[in-house]
Structure 1
């Protein structure tokens, strides 16, 4: 294993809740329902696509410009929330895991659909752990398309088969599974059990556990 590629929201930081609260504000403003279950289903998608999805129940017709404006409003709310993040707010176990990867000179990348990924990393104080940061502005196709993971591996100059990629969303896991990479699913959603390595939470991750599962997978293949 030469490289590990990370999703951001729900893997390194508990920003999924911030996305939910931001979208919920827009939904309430427009008089459409929005639940945590819907938020889970929309993880990994860009904000314009999210706006189109949540506005479907509305009796109002929205032009592209109006959807763009609402997407920007959602982003404004989200930026306000992520400003509350500080060093120490990374999800449990992840900084220790990043330290392990760094000590073994395993290359790392972020593959996040969020255009605010760098801000989140800077606020958490963990930007320096990553060799490459790929976000929505660097790609043309969103998850579940695998483009973002393939681009991250290409930027790292790593063979896809020597990469592990970590996700907590269904769209993200589908994207990884569409590549030759080793997939890691973190969280309690049932679909995550389809990953090559399934972990209930970030506390369970370690380089030893990942390496063992990765090697066993290589032997089976």
Structure 2
């Protein structure tokens, strides 16, 4: 096989939490008097919490201190985690679980590489930890995507060189991070990308048939 390991982004790849992010950020935008819609929400995909906040605040006429920004980010995360509590194993389709099992049975190391600091909680709600040999999330990195740190660290956690790993992403920042880390990338979905990924797939269920 061309690869020894697969590193998956979480949100938008293995599950969808967009509706929870949208609702939580929408309330933040309303508080600061900034516009917010699906187009703006798309810009936040794969981006850290504080960077996402700065994108929203750029649409506000108000100015905010660092302390106020920290408060806004904390309140957004509290709202988001309350919404995440609605998640259950049903939010990871059986076909996705089957695909992960097929990849693991083929001898590949599987890891999660997510900028989200809530990744561990989401995986717990999904009852999905057993599919992965390692999880690297936003609590373990100093630089979020498009910096490659989360992916290179995930590769190291499963004992592999970056070049031996394929990243599976849905966001432009993740594609850029994969390239910066010297990794091939499979993009899930149809969101516009700054350059062509190694593979384009409809969803994770198509991955085994693409690379095995």
Superposition TM-score, scaled by structure 2 size: 0.93
Q: Render the CA deviation track for 1:37-75: whole Å, top value 9, x for unaligned.
A: 111112111111111221112222101110011001110
Q: Is the 8 A contact 1:192 1:198 kept in 2?
A: no
Partner of residue 85, structure 1: 87
The one of 110, 113, 124 equivalent to 1:111 is: 113
Shift of 1:192: 7.7
**How many residues are paired up?**
210
Partner of residue 13, structure 1: 15
Dislocated runs of 4+, deviation >4 Å: none
Shift of 1:91: 4.7
Change in Cα spacing, 1:131 to 1:99, as seen in structure 2 (3 Å) is same
> Is 1:100 aligned to 2:102, yes or no?
yes
Q: Is the 8 A contact 1:41 1:170 kept in 2?
A: no
Deviates more, 1:26-35 or 1:2-11: 26-35
Shift of 1:29: 1.8
Q: Render the CA deviation track for 1:187-213: whole Å, top value 9, x for unaligned.
A: 11131871101013344x2323123xx
Q: Render the CA deviation track for 1:104-129: whole Å, top value 9, x for unaligned.
A: 23111111111110111111111111
**Structure 2, unaligned stretches of length 5 or more?**
none
**Structure 1, unaligned stretches of length 5 or more?**
212-221
Shift of 1:137: 1.4
SS at match of 1:4: strand
Q: Is the 8 A contact 2:32 2:62 kept in 1?
A: no
Partner of residue 63, structure 1: 65
Superposition TM-score, scaled by structure 1 size: 0.90
Shift of 1:18: 1.3
Change in Cα spacing, 1:102 to 1:174, as seen in structure 2 (3 Å) is same
Q: Which residues in structure 2 correspond to 1:184-195 (within 5 Å)?
A: 184-191=186-193, 194-195=196-197
Partner of residue 208, structure 1: 209
Mapped partners of 2:183, 2:106: distance in 1: 20
Partner of residue 151, structure 2: 149
Q: Is the 8 A contact 1:92 1:202 kept in 2?
A: no
SS at match of 2:177: helix
